[in-house]
A and B are shown apart, each in its own frame.
Chain A
Amino acid sequence: MLTVENLTVRFPTRFGDTTAIENININVQAGEIHGLVGESGAGKSTVGAAVIGLLQTPGYISEGNIMLGDTDLRALDVNQAHALRGKRISMIFQDPQTSLNPLMTVEEQLVETILAHEKMSADEARTRAIDLLEEIGIKNAAERIKSWPHQFSGGMRQRVVIALALCTNPELIIADEPTTALDVAVQSQVLDLIRSLADKRKIGFILITHDIGVIAQIADRVTVMRNGHVVESGETAQVLGRPKHAYTRALMSAVPPMDHKIDRFSVPATEGIEGASVFTGDLAEQWLLEEKDLPEDEQKELSIGLSIEALDVRFSGTRKSLWRKPEDFIALDKISFNVKPGSIMGLVGESGSGKSTVAKTITGLITPNSGTMMLGNEILPAGKSRSRKHASRRIIQMVFQDPYSSLNSRHKIGSILTEPLWFYGLEKDPEKRQELAASMLALVGMAPDAIDKYPHQFSGGQRQRIAVARALLARPRFLICDEPTSALDVSIQAEILNLLKDLQSKFGLTILFISHNLSVVRQMADDMVVLRNGVIEEAGKTEDLFERPQAEYTKKLLSLTPVMPKDWAC
């Protein structure tokens, strides 16, 4: 149905044109889900944009054919191409929060789209829209259709997005990371919906994703892309089951498996990034292990534990009436857990479960309503009562999710890294501070000359290494990693996770590892806690939890996470 031949897209720049994708060949049949997988920068989204004719300006198609049935998509003029969009090809975007117009009701958006393509009355269009919403799994659609987008939850909103893409009966839908922004439970529902639409309505899908698990679960055929080229293409079972190309194999082995624990992640040796375990930062290493500045009792035990007792956090809700007090939103409901010294504790849950609230409470950014926190043998003052100079502000450090926004873009790496050294008064001599920072960079597997560069000169993975280095330069004993790899590609994720493991075992760090990704937690954590709506559903040894989950919720989470069939993993 859709045939893409020798597609090449170029972007003109000041220094001549750069090629975004080259020589792409893709065939999609009616009712087929064609997976397009690759890491960021592979050109997956560019393929989708070229097919639907929405390339970011100034990009242009320099060669190749795109045929939809008998229509040559490249031969259409602007108006014809626009009329075809929605009518025959449609698209689903990644984030349902931002892909609906917030100021129009769902009904207005659906009816408008239908009327744009078909000759019918507004009433007929409304009837069709309601039927479609019912079909797609929105209950009481006749009422719900009058709602605004913000009145739907994330999963429901993605259903509305799918309904919008579907309302004109297109032949082809391009789904660009349709489930990346969703929780596992919602993700599996949306994937089921896509599968059933392909089967029942014979719609062809191009499913663009970085998640091989998703591909393995629903795609019929798959094309693996890398740096704008097709690496491998074919039936899903064949490509993922018996990958021919080394890159496909590397990509698959970088995905952390969920069904067993491995010691280290294998990293696709790609862009010449220094191996994560090559420690040349002797100076930084010695400095981290040095004990002279530490108080007596801390010297005996380098590692420090954390225990949390009946921690309760509430936020005041929105006021609905003038006279009644608004009801509190309970973010954490009297939770207790214990992080053993020198261990990694995994904290798992869906979005909104209170994971990040735990991190913020421990670091003192949120004041809890009640409960106690013990760091080692001392009580950790909560929230605002913790003084600026309190020792725990140095001992507890944090690595954030998004390495793009967690480093100050106007500071050089050198000044970002030396800040904790003078701030906490750890090193008085400015030259020594620079030396230590350079050595720490080497320790986290970066070239020490990075010290004179700015954050934007580094990739996401490199930035996350810098963020880890900054945390370590405060000489922490307790590290909180809040989704440290969820913004990164799988191969980079593998490198960062290896690095964290190495550092943890070398320096006896205690780590609270927050993630929504179960397979990552299985690889990293010794113990884990499953959190849901501010309540602990289950806690225990990680291996026990995965092998013999007790709580219904844990079982559900485990069963819904897309995994590759066992015999495919290599």
Chain B
Amino acid sequence: MFYFIYKRLIQSVFVMLAVAFLAFSLFRFVGDPITQMTGVETSVVDQERLREELGLNDPFISQFGRFTVDMLQGDFGYSFRTRQPVAEMIASRIPATLELGVVALLISLVVGIPAGVYTALRPRGVITQTILMTTLIGISIPTFVIGIMLIFLFGVQLGWLPTFGRGETVNIGFWESSFFSIDGWRALILPAVTLGVYQLTLTMRLVRAQMMDVMRSDYIRFATARGVPMRQLYFRHALANTMVPVITIIGLQFGGVIAFSIVTESVFQWPGMGLLFLESIRFVDIPVMGVYLVVIAFFFVVVNLLVDLLYVAIDPRLRV
């Protein structure tokens, strides 16, 4: 098991290096950074001097090496647009996106898993059929349409919930949180539901399929034959075995939720990383885009590592 984690860590390092390389290529080769940094009136001599000072004439490898070392030390460079350090810009946006993603994930799990179990145990019931139909519609509608529909219904027509922004936030150190005020929670509901709907449908259908499979297995038949109470049979024996494959998909999807919250964030003007990314694209702010790429990849890698560890925690067969 120790070896397994060690192997995964090595793999993660390579993934991060590959992504850093992509980000670096974006930064270095999409257009000439000097022309983007300087104005029209800068002389060619000055441009050359700047190029020499910034080390842009060095061999490719040493430039990439410097880039990577800087990244590791937390130095992400400066934004073309705002002239602020990119690290600060991203750091100030991370809490918003993470909180949104976590709440969306929780919604999808809290609703998706019980719904999946229910629909698996009563495959022919009326409620099951209704749930399946509704979620089929849910999965077929694009996220932004769901967001706009929710805004229209709850924000505009009923006027219950705010339609944009994070509402009131509380600062805990550098972390700007909307978990500690009612206004913050109210602002969080609509975007989190929008972001979680797809994930919810997926979780539910996955749990359902796995659970139906597990219920047919020999050890469930054997447990039934020795009269293990039904509640324990469903939730202790069957559900645990169902979760092993489900966790992988949920984990991968969580990375996806963080990465693709762009759409939801722009619909609800949520001040997270996704919105920052969209703004950066509009102004061709290449340093921010590159760092965003690296940060998202880092999320994916960390979540995958966590999933692997969870796997080991659930399944004793992997603890060799």
Which residue of chain B is the closest to A88 with respect to CB atoms?
A: B227
Q: Is A193 an interface residue (CB 8 A)?
A: no
Of B218, B223, B316, the contact of A95 (CB 8 Å cutoff): B218
In the complex, whether B44 has a CB less than 8 A from a CB of chain A is: no
Given contacts A112-B228, A116-B227, A321-B3, contact A93 B222 (CB under 8 A): yes
Closest to B238 in A: A101
**1/0 per position for A76-87, CB-CB distance to B under 8 A?**
000000111111
Q: Which single residue of chain B is at the shortest CB-CB distance from A164?
A: B226
Instruction: Indicate with 1 or 0, residue by residue over B296-320, a CB within 8 angstroms of chain A CB atoms.
Output: 0000000000000000001111001
Question: Is the Cβ of B219 less than 8 Å from the Cβ of A101?
Answer: yes
Q: Which residue of A lies closest to B7 (CB)?
A: A319
* Smallest CB separation, B267 vs chain A (Å): 41
Q: Do A164 and B222 have beta carbons less than 8 Å apart?
A: yes
Q: Which of B24-32, B142-150, B229-237 forms part of the interface with chain A?
A: B229-237
Contact: B315 with A102, CB < 8 Å?
yes
Q: Answer whether A100 and B219 are a contact pair too, CB < 8 Å, given A82-B230, A150-B317, A321-B3.
A: yes
Check if B219 sits within 8 Å of A52, measured CB to CB.
no
Which B residues lie within 8 Å of A294 (CB)? none
In the complex, the answer to whether B226 meets A101 with C-beta atoms within 8 Å is no
Tell whether A93 pairs with B221 under 8 Å between CB atoms, given A101-B241, A113-B228. Answer: yes
> How far, in whole Å, are A112 and B230 apart by their CA atoms in the complex?
12
Q: Is B60 an interface residue (CB 8 A)?
A: no
Q: Which of A91, A95, A109, A318 contacts B320 (CB 8 A)?
A: A318
Q: Is A103 touching B316 in the complex (CB atoms < 8 A)?
A: yes
User: From A150, which residue of chain B is reached at the shortest CB distance?
Assistant: B317
> Would you call A90 and B317 a contact (CB within 8 A)?
no
Contact A85 B237 (CB under 8 A): no
Q: Which residues of A contact B222 (CB under 8 A)?
A: 91, 93, 99-100, 161, 164
A148 neighbours in B (Cβ, 8 Å)? 316-317
Residue B6 is within 8 A (CB to CB) of chain A in the complex: yes
A543 to B224, CA, bound (A): 48
- Cβ contacts under 8 Å, A52 to chain B: 225
Residues of A within 8 A of B227 (CB): 82-87, 113, 116-117, 168
- In the complex, what residue of chain A is closest to B232 when comparing beta carbons? A112
Residues in B whose Cβ lies below 8 Å from that of A87:
227
Q: Which of B217, B226, B230 has the most CB of A within 10 A?
A: B226
CB pair B2 A322 closer than 8 Å: yes
Provide the bound-state CA to CA distance between A117 and B232, in Å: 13
Chain A residues, CB < 8 A from B230: 82
Q: Is B106 an interface residue (CB 8 A)?
A: no
In the bound assembly, the distance between CA atoms of A98 and B229 in angstroms comes to 20
The SS class assigned to the A binding surface is loop
Q: Whose C-beta in chain A lies nearest to the C-beta of B318?
A: A150
Cα–Cα distance between A91 and B218 once the two chains are bound (Å): 12
Is there a chain A Cβ closer than 8 Å to B240's Cβ?
A: yes
Flag whether A551 is at the interface (Cβ < 8 A): no
Q: Is the CB of A98 within 8 A of B219?
A: yes
Residues of B within 8 A of A85 (CB): 224-227
Report the Cα distance A52→B223, complex, angstroms.
13
Query: How many A-B contacts are there with CB distance less than 8 Å?
Result: 90
Chain B positions within 8 Å of A93 at CB level = 218, 221-222, 225
The CA-CA distance from A261 to B274 in the complex, in Å, is: 79
Closest to A98 in B: B218
Set of chain B residues within 8 Å of A167, measured between Cβ atoms: 226
Q: Are B226 and A165 in contact (CB under 8 A)?
A: yes
Q: Which single member of A82, A103, A165, A322 contacts B315 (CB below 8 Å)?
A: A103
Nearest CB on A from B31, distance (A)? 45
CB atoms of B3 and A319 under 8 A apart? yes
Among B6, B217, B223, B232, the one with the most A-chain Cβ atoms within 10 Å of its Cβ is B223
- Closest beta carbon of chain B to A550's beta carbon, Å: 39
- Does residue A246 face the partner (Cβ distance < 8 Å to B)? no
Q: In the bound complex, what is the Cα–Cα distance between A90 and B221 (angstroms)?
A: 11
Chain B neighbourhood of A278, CB < 8 A = none
B320 / chain A contacts, CB cutoff of 8 Å? 318, 320
CB closest chain-A residue, reference B4: A319
Kindly list chain B residues whose C-beta atoms are within 8 Å of the C-beta of A318: 320
A102 to B223, CA, bound (A): 12
Interface residues of A in 272-310 (CB under 8 A from B): none
The chain B residue with its CB closest to the CB of A170 is B226
Closest approach, in angstroms, between the C-beta of B183 and any C-beta of chain A?
Answer: 43
Chain A residues lying within 8 Å of B223, measured Cβ to Cβ, are: 101, 109
Q: Which residue of B lies closest to A113 (CB)?
A: B226
CB-CB under 8 A from B228, the residues of chain A are 86, 112-113, 116
CB pair B221–A102 under 8 Å, yes or no, is: no
Q: A90 near B3 (CB under 8 angstroms)?
A: no
CA distance A511 to B221 in the complex (A): 41
Q: Which residues, 237 to 275 on B, are CB-close (under 8 Å) to A?
A: 237, 240-241, 244
Q: Are B317 and A102 in contact (CB under 8 A)?
A: yes
Cβ-closest chain B residue relative to A109: B223
Which residues does chain B contribute within 8 Å of A164, judged by CB atoms? 222, 226
B residues 194-235 with Cβ under 8 Å of A?
A: 217-219, 221-230, 232
B316 partner residues in chain A, CB cutoff 8 A? 102-103, 105, 148, 150
Cβ distance B310 to chain A, nearest Cβ, rounded Å: 13
Q: Are A104 and B3 in contact (CB under 8 A)?
A: no
Which residues of A from 166 to 183 have beta carbons under 8 Å from B?
167-168
* B241 touches which of A99, A103, A322 (Cβ 8 Å): A103
Alpha-carbon distance A90/B228, docked complex (angstroms): 11
Among B223, B225, B240, B317: residue with most chain A CB under 10 A:
B225
> Which A residues touch B237, using CB under 8 A?
101, 104
What residues of A have a CB within 8 angstroms of the CB of B2 in the complex?
321-322
- A426 CB, nearest partner CB in chain B, Å: 43
Complex CA gap A168/B226 in Å reads 9
Chain A 553-566 interface mask (CB, 8 Å, partner B; 1/0): 00000000000000
CA distance A87 to B225 in the complex (A): 10
What distance in Å separates the Cβ of A179 from its nearest Cβ neighbour in chain B?
16
**Given the complex, which residues of A lie within 8 Å of B240, measured CB to CB?**
103-104
- Cβ contacts under 8 Å, A84 to chain B: 227
**Which residues of B are found within 8 Å of A165, using beta-carbon distances?**
225-226
- Bound-state Cα–Cα, A85 to B223, Å: 10
A98 touches B226 (CB 8 A): no
* Least CB distance, B159 to chain A, in whole angstroms: 49
Digitize A217-249: 1 where CB-to-B-CB distance is under 8 Å, 0 elsewhere.
Answer: 000000000000000000000000000000000
Please give the distance in Å from A430's CB to the nearest CB on chain B.
43
CB-defined contacts of A117 to chain B, threshold 8 Å: 227
Closest CB-CB distance, A96 to chain B, in whole Å? 9
Q: Distance in Å from the Cβ of B315 to the closest Cβ of chain A?
A: 6
Min C-beta distance of A163 to chain B, whole Å: 11
A262 within 8 A of B: no
Nearest CB of A to B139, in Å: 29
Q: 1/0 contact trace for A497-518 toward B, CB 8 Å?
A: 0000000000000000000000
Contacts of A109 in B (CB 8 A): 223
B244 partner residues in chain A, CB cutoff 8 A: 103
In the complex, A54 has a CB within 8 A of chain B: yes
Contact A102 B224 (CB under 8 A): no
| 19 A-B pairs in the complex with CB atoms less than 8 angstroms apart | A54-B221, A84-B227, A85-B225, A85-B226, A86-B226, A90-B225, A91-B225, A98-B217, A98-B218, A99-B218, A102-B241, A112-B228, A116-B227, A150-B316, A168-B227, A319-B3, A320-B320, A322-B3, A322-B6
Q: 10 closest A-B pairs (Cβ-Cβ)?
A: A86-B227, A86-B226, A91-B225, A85-B227, A98-B218, A148-B316, A99-B222, A99-B218, A319-B3, A101-B219
Given A104-B236, A168-B226, 5 more contacts at CB 8 Å?
Answer: A85-B225, A86-B227, A101-B241, A103-B316, A113-B228
Residues of B within 8 A of A (CB): 2-3, 6, 217-219, 221-230, 232, 236-237, 240-241, 244, 314-317, 320
